[in-house]
Amino acid sequence: MKCMLEGLRAVHSDRMVAGPGSGQNDTRSTKVREDADWRETISLHPVVRTHPETGRKLLFVNHSYTVGFEDMTERESCPLLNYLLHHGHQPEFTCRFR
């Protein structure tokens, strides 16, 4: 069965973790650039990926880098992105190491 999200591409940006004003330098030992020469890096990735070994489908969105979806504004993307992030953070989909 084809997932309705297949073919949808997510917009990933480094501005929330590496951009000026991200506030990340307070907690990082490796400082991010905050000068005028910094430029945002934007890339597009499929929202649904296939694991190369298991063949299982997975969501390729995350809170730190995904800012929206291709051909949608960030505001239009917000409800779907929040839904997918919430869905992926359910305990049965997570793995923890000690």
21 within domain boundaries: yes
What is the residue whose two structure tokens read 């869905």?
A: 87
What is the residue whose two structure tokens read 């917009």?
A: 11
pLDDT tier, 83 (very low <50, low <70, confident <90, very high otherwise): very high
List, for residues 23-81, the tens digit of each pLDDT value.
766 776 666 777 778 888 999 999 999 999 999 998 999 998 999 999 999 999 999 99
Give the residue numbers spanning the domain of 49.
Answer: 9-93
Tokens representing residue 21 in the block? 């004003």
Residues 6+ apart with CB under 8 A from 35: 20
Residues forming a β-bridge with 74:
none
Count structural domains, the chain.
1
